[in-house]
Structure formats: C-alpha cells, structure tokens
Amino acid sequence: MRCDVLAVGTELLLGQIVDTNSAWLGEQLAAHGIDSLAQTKVGDNVGRIISHLRSMLEHADAVIMCGGLGPTHDDLTREAIAAVMGVELELDEGIGAVIREMFESRGRSMPENNLRQAMVPAGATIIPQTRGTAPGLICPVTVSVDGRQVERVVYAVPGVPHEMRDMFERAIAPDLHARAGEQAVIVSRVLRTWGESESGLDERLRPVIEELDARGNPTLAFLASGWEGLKVRLTARGVDAAAARAELAPFEERIRAELGATVFGFDEDTMESVVLGMLAQRGWTLGCAESVTGGLIGARLTGVPGASKVFAGSIVSYATEVKRSVLGVGYDLVVTEEAAVEMAEGARSVLGVDVAIAVTGVAGPDTQEGRPAGTLCVAAIWPGGSLSRTLRLPGQREPMRQMSVISSLDLLRRALLAAEV
C-alpha cells in the first residue's frame, strides 16, 4: 500500500508556514508500515491542485491532502477533488448544522461563507470534526493507469496540525489498513531520552538494531525532537495489540537496560511532566530563577495538568540588577555556576519552596563576560543536596534557550535519581 502526501497552501511555498504536517504524516505512515514515496506542496490554484493530484494518483494507491478546507475563497481542495472525481459538490445539511451550533455555543453568529465547509464531493465519506469546523473527507477516485481503470482514494484533512493528526489516527490509518487487506495491529512504544546524541545512541544500540534489521519486526527509528528529547521509537505488528506488545517488550527492556538514566520517559511523557511527578511523589514544591530562558521553564512546567500542586512560580531575573536586588546574587560575574547557585538559593527563599533550579547563560549572538554563545550555567537545590554544572549548548539563540529548559530539568531529574530521595 502506497500513500503519498499533497500539502495545499501558497503560504507553504512562500515559507510563511513550515510544512510540519507532511513530516508528521511521513513518520506515521512509516510507523504503520505504509509506503510513502512522495510529498508535494502546491499553492492555492485549483488548476495546479488538480494537476498535481491527478499525477500523484497515477502512482500512489492513496493521497492525503492537507489544507485548503477552510471557508474562504482560496480554500480550493474540495473543488479540486470533486473535479478529479468527476462529480459535483453537494451541501451536507448535517455538517452545516454542526458548524452553526459550534458558533452559537460561543455566542457568535456564523458567517455564511462557513457553509463552504459543508460542501462535499458527491460520493465522499465524511470524517467528522471533533476540534474545529472543517470536516475531513474520504473520497473514492477511479483513474486510468496504462489504459486500465484503477481504484484510488483521496483523504482530505484540515491544515491545522492537531485537527489533521486527530483525523489521521481516528479515521485515515484504519481505513488504509482496511484497504490494504491487513488484519495486523500496529503498536508503537516511544522511549524519550536526553543527554546523548543520535549517533551516540545509534552506536550504543547497534547490536539491538542489527538484530531488529534481521528480524524485520519490530522496527526501530530515531527522531530528534528538540526540547521534547531524542525519541527512540519501537514499532511492531501483531495479530492483535497484545501480540504486538509481546514483540516489543524484550527489545524495550534491552534498550532501557543499555541506556539507563538517559531514558527519562515514555510515549507522551515530557521532561517537565516527569520531573513534576518525581517531586510530587516526595511531597516537594518547586520554584525557578530564570535568566537566559526568560520564563520558558515556567511556561513548560505550567503546561502540565496539575502542575500547581508542585510548581510555585518562576522569577525571571533577566537583568543583572534583578538578580542582585530580588535574588541576592553577590557574585561579581553572573554567567557562572556560582551565580546560578546564588540564584537558586534566592528563588528557594523568596518563593518558599523545597526545590529550586536556576539558569543563567549566553543565548548570543554576542559573548558575555568572555563566555561564548551557548554557555549555560545551571544549579539545583533540594533538601539535603545541591548541584551545579556549566554546559555548552547550540550557539543559535532560540535553540539554545529551548535546550536550556530540558537540560536544566534533566539535571534536577538525574540529581534526584542519584540521591535516591
């Protein structure tokens, strides 16, 4: 089964929006064992959309189209699909009612152009919306290939990432497997790591990788995901979920044994959710003092449901005078481990918490106090212990700030593990 991806939107071609949807779909299709050999972007021009779609359907069994399902004049995916199918668009009154009710529930009247989202190619199946207004579509298409009439399918999903992902998991992946005639269930397990490079992980896991390559099931893939960590994904097929998990289990155990504390979580875990969980188990509260991150640590922590039970707050001491007047930093140089320790002590006192972490550093592009861009000084204090480190991170400003968040939380996590408290 081959499924290619067609992303629709002039903003993608202009670089105004980065096409993360195609990348995510490529990853998911691979995890489901479905070949995806081409990804294409096309602007908001119905003729060009039709041309690209017809061309892709000559080679692929299925095409997923992302975007162009909105209510405005330049949302042309529905019209293009109908033209390729050779059918008319029809108003689905049920979809129209759902959209109207959604607007009314928010105390707003629905603009009439939103009814464009209720126009459906005749013969298409609706993928109901659960998060927005535009429904998805499953559209059967007959195309001529080498003089033969063959059946294909086009899936249309919104360009909004969380809406697209929901529809893929809920409707498209099961439909692709059904069309491929496969009864197998696909199960994945993601081990989230931090503290080692992708090449380093590859080297350490080489015996496992070679065995998996020889077996063919399960499979292993690495995915560098910025401040979400470096993911190691195991994917297995089985006649049912239990059989697939049984295939995964021994290899997961081997990877965990080899990587040890480098693995910080699994599947949907984040570094911040793991650290908050560890602190909650001990009944400890957490506070932060942030310079180089400018509040990013606090923002990530408060993104975790229930964080208020542990996290008291963050003091953004970006200016040197704030480090001194609010946190009591007396050390002359502020991009140092000594200053980070004083910042953590100050945050612990001001916020009245059990545990504090502090970060100070140089995001760049200029040097500071003779320290190059990418320098991070981090300190952690907890009942009965403390730790500070100086790290060298990527020198580009935003990546450095993001890496500072996960690196500082990881330092606290490893300290708590080592202290066995």
CATH of the structural domain 3-179, one choice from 2.60.40.10, 1.10.132.20, 3.30.470.10, 3.40.980.10? 3.40.980.10
185-266 sits in which CATH class? alpha beta
Q: HEC string of 49-75?
A: HHHHHHHHHCCCCEEEEECCCCCCCCC
CATH 3.40.980.10 boundaries in the chain: 3-179
Cis upstream peptide for 121 (omega within 30°): no
31 close to 90: Cβ distance less than 8 angstroms:
no
Span 368-396, pLDDT tens digits: 999 999 999 999 999 999 999 999 998 89
Span 221-255, pLDDT tens digits: 898 888 999 999 998 888 888 999 999 999 999 99
Span 94-148, pLDDT tens digits: 888 888 888 888 888 888 878 888 899 999 999 998 887 789 999 999 999 888 9
In whole angstroms, what is the distance from residue 234 CA to residue 255 CA? 10
Span 281-337, pLDDT tens digits: 999 999 999 999 999 999 999 999 999 999 999 999 999 999 999 999 999 999 999
Mean predicted lDDT score pLDDT of the chain: 93
Q: Which CATH number describes the domain made up of 271-419?
A: 3.90.950.20
Q: What is the pTM of this model?
A: 0.75
Q: Where are the beta strands (DSSP E) in 194-338?
A: 219-224, 230-238, 263-266, 286-290, 311-316
Residue 33 is classified by DSSP as T
Share of the chain above pLDDT 70, in %: 99
Predicted confidence at residue 104, as pLDDT, reads 82
Helix (H) or strand (E) holding 93: helix 93-105
Q: Where are the beta strands (DSSP E) in 252-291?
A: 263-266, 286-290
Q: Taking Cα atoms as reference points, which of 281, 252, 280, 247 lies closest to residue 266?
A: 252
Q: Are strands 62-66 and 148-157 parallel, antiparallel or unpaired?
A: parallel
What is the dihedral sign for C-alpha 73, 78, 84, 90? negative
Predicted confidence at residue 182, as pLDDT, reads 67
CATH 3.30.70.2860 boundaries in the chain: 185-266
CATH 3.90.950.20 boundaries in the chain: 271-419
